[in-house]
Structure formats: C-alpha cells, structure tokens
Chains A and B, each alone.
Chain A
Amino acid sequence: AQSVAQPEDQVNVAEGNPLTVKCTYSVSGNPYLFWYVQYPNRGLQFLLKYITGDNLVKGSYGFEAEFNKSQTSFHLKKPSALVSDSALYFCAVRDTISGANNLFFGTGTRLTVIP
C-alpha cells in the first residue's frame, strides 16, 4: 500500500525567509514523487517531480525538493519566500511496484507567507 504524510496542516513564514514544506511517503517499491500547488479557484499545478537520478530536484517558481530514501522524505523548499507563494501544497506518490497509474496525494499543507 502507498501513503503520503504531510505532518503540518499550516506553515507560516515571513517574506524573504526560507521555507520548507514536509512530506514523507510509504511505498512498496521505488517511488515516483511529485509536488503540486493549488491556488484559490484554480486547478492543481505541477511544481516538480522525482523519478530517478539526482536527489535534489529543481522545479517551477524557484522551488526545489530533496529526495531522501533513508528517511523516506521529499521535503519542498525555497530559499526566499514570496507572498505570492501563499497557497495549498500537495505531495503525491506513485508506487512503481503496484503498477497503478494513479497518484496518491497527501492531505495538503497551507503555506502562508507574511509580508
């Protein structure tokens, strides 16, 4: 079975400070990991993904994430937060063993960047 945990419902950070949104996962095989962002009244937008290779993945809008196999984590990071980064962030995983084509999403973390 596959699962994703986002331990923080809410993250607040001051503008210009670094931000981290946490994600841990559980899969049977090797994971495919994704981060999506959801702005109000808009669909989910892809930020970045880890499939294989370099553990540090760079994505859209200056975001990056680090895959840590030993800690089964895939935390989302950004060196300097912007007010416009305020949104709902979802971590998602696909299990390569199960063969399923669907993504399994976490419950989301609401990021608020304070001016």
Chain B
Amino acid sequence: DTGVSQDPRHKITKRGQNVTFRCDPISEHNRLYWYRQTLGQGPEFLTYFQNEAQLEKSRLLSDRFSAERPKGSFSTLEIQRTEQGDSAMYLCASSPRGAVNEKLFFGSGTQLSVL
C-alpha cells in the first residue's frame, strides 16, 4: 500500500501524559498537513509543511502541540500534558509538488482518547 500511513491507529492515554503520532506521506509528496476531527465535525486544519519547513500553524495548535518533519519525509505530532479536550481523530494528509490546489491524500487517522 503506497498511501498515507499513520501510526498508531488508536491511542488511549491518561490526562497529563504526552503522546506522539507519526505520519508517513506518499513518497515524493512534498506537502504534508495535519488535521483534527471531532465527532460530528469536519476536519480542522492544524499545521502545514512544505518539505521540512512548517509554513502554517492554526490558532488551534496550542503551545502543548508540536509538529516536526525533520527530513522532509515523515512527520510527527506531539501533544504534551494531554487534556480530555484533545480527544479526537488526528488526520494526516499529503499532496504532491505542484499547484497548491492539488487534492489531498488522507491517511486513516489516529484516534486519541484521553481519560
């Protein structure tokens, strides 16, 4: 399968713990996005990378959230001191080099539950 891969699929953690998610985009896709989706809502933009550069960050991305894409390939999203309100599906997407209006390819997401 050469689609966008996310790991883990599910994560259950206790409030106050740190969690880290990984996203492997489609090979040679230089654009990578993180979104968050809660029940009954559409995906909400968190952050955007072009290669290894983090070019955009949403106001939703509080200081407890940090994302990296160190070599322009895979990306990690870390949430420190998790809160119950962080419970959501975290989606990663990638798109190829070229026009910004290219479609996004989404992974299956990481479902986070904070107890």
Binding site for B on A (CB under 8 A): 4, 32, 34, 36, 41-46, 49, 51, 90, 92, 94, 100-108
Give Cα distance in the complex from A36 to B103, angstroms: 10
In the bound complex, residues from chain A placing their C-beta under 8 Å from that of B33 are 101-102
- How many chain B residues have a CB neighbour from A under 8 Å? 26
In the bound complex, residues from chain A placing their C-beta under 8 Å from that of B107 are 43
Q: Is the CB of A90 within 8 A of B56?
A: no
Give Cα distance in the complex from A19 to B42, angstroms: 21
Q: Give the Cβ gap from A2 to chain B, nearest Cβ, in Å.
A: 11
Give Cα distance in the complex from A105 to B3, angstroms: 22
Q: Is the CB of A49 within 8 A of B101?
A: yes
Chain B residue at smallest Cβ distance from A6: B42
Q: Is the CB of A43 within 8 A of B4?
A: yes
Contact of B44 among A36, A94, A105, A108 (CB under 8 A): A105
Contact of B43 among A44, A49, A101 (CB under 8 A): A44
Known: A43-B4, A46-B103, A94-B101. A102 touches B45 (CB 8 A): yes
Known: A43-B107, A44-B106. A101 touches B55 (CB 8 A): yes
Binding site for A on B (CB under 8 A): 3-4, 31, 33, 40-45, 48, 50, 55-56, 58, 91, 93, 100-101, 103-109
Interface centre among B58, B91, B101, B108 (most CB of A within 10 A): B101
Give 22 A-B contacts (CB < 8 Å), ordered by A residue.
A4-B42, A32-B101, A42-B108, A43-B106, A43-B109, A44-B43, A44-B93, A51-B101, A92-B42, A94-B101, A100-B56, A101-B31, A101-B55, A101-B100, A103-B43, A103-B45, A104-B45, A105-B42, A105-B43, A107-B40, A108-B40, A108-B42
Give Cα distance in the complex from A41 to B106, angstroms: 12
Known: A45-B106, A101-B55. 8 other contacts (CB 8 A): A41-B108, A43-B105, A46-B103, A46-B104, A49-B103, A102-B48, A103-B43, A108-B42
